[in-house]
Amino acid sequence: MDSASVQGRRQTREWIIQMLFQLDFNPVALEELFLDFWEERSPSARERAFAEEMVAGVMAERDAVDEQLSRYAKNWDSDRLGAVDRAVMRLAVYEMVHCDETPPVVAINEAVHFAKDLSSFQSGRFVNGVLDRIRKELDRPARTPNRPAGE
């Protein structure tokens, strides 16, 4: 992936986190969220499709993702996590578990970046620790996309 693609994907992940954060405080139908959210932004068709697919996926798997977060964030139920940290980690867990094209370490690195940038430096360390514990339990390579044999 070239530098522009990486920056585009990072911007898109930031939008995803913003949408997940919004949904925590103002649960609405995804169609309504997307319509309102894109009104003020100019994503490419590819960025928009990726963001909407990820938000829909995270929301569809939210209970399972939150259960994982609660299990691995020692003494922290997912509803006790800071809202930004929760949104960041929901996206990362979803990507690690359900998005074979994203290496788990990429999902973790992006989550740590956003936790530090949008929350606090301490959040970055906390997010890294929780997500790394989850990554160790995954049945897939940490640093490469998970591709079926023969690809």
Q: Is residue 151 part of a domain?
A: no
Q: Is residue 147 part of a domain?
A: no
Q: Is residue 146 part of a domain?
A: no
Average pLDDT, the chain: 88
- Find the angle CA(122)-CA(51)-CA(149) to the nearest 5 degrees: 95
In this prediction, residues 137-145 reach a mean pLDDT of 80
What pLDDT is stored for residue 9 in this prediction?
A: 87
Q: What's the structural domain count of the chain?
A: 1
* CA–CA separation, 18 and 137 (whole Å): 28
What pLDDT is stored for residue 12 in this prediction?
A: 96
In this prediction, residues 86-95 reach a mean pLDDT of 96
Q: Is residue 143 part of a domain?
A: no
In this prediction, residues 134-142 reach a mean pLDDT of 86
CATH number, domain of 15, equals 1.10.940.10
Distance of alpha carbon 13 from its chain centroid, rounded? 7
Q: Is residue 62 part of a domain?
A: yes
What pLDDT is stored for residue 6 in this prediction?
A: 60
Per-residue pLDDT of 17-46, as tens digits, reads 999 999 999 999 999 999 999 999 999 999
Provide the pLDDT confidence category of residue 150 given band limits of 50, 70 and 90: very low
Q: Is 51 exposed, middle or buried (0-12, 13-18, 19+ CB in 10 A)?
A: buried
Cα R_g (the chain), whole angstroms: 15
What pLDDT is stored for residue 80 in this prediction?
A: 65
Q: Is residue 150 part of a domain?
A: no
Per-residue pLDDT of 94-114, as tens digits, reads 999 999 999 999 999 999 999
Q: How many CB atoms lie within 10 A of CB 89?
A: 32
112 and 127 Cβ atoms separated by less than 8 Å: yes
Q: Which domain holds residue 9?
A: 3-136
Q: Give which of 96, 88, 63, 91 is closest to 77, Cα–Cα.
A: 63
* CA–CA separation, 77 and 101 (whole Å): 29
In this prediction, residues 120-132 reach a mean pLDDT of 90
Q: Is residue 18 part of a domain?
A: yes
Q: Is residue 142 part of a domain?
A: no
32 and 52 Cβ atoms separated by less than 8 Å: no
148 three-class SS: coil
For the cut 60, the answer to whether the pLDDT of residue 148 exceeds it is no
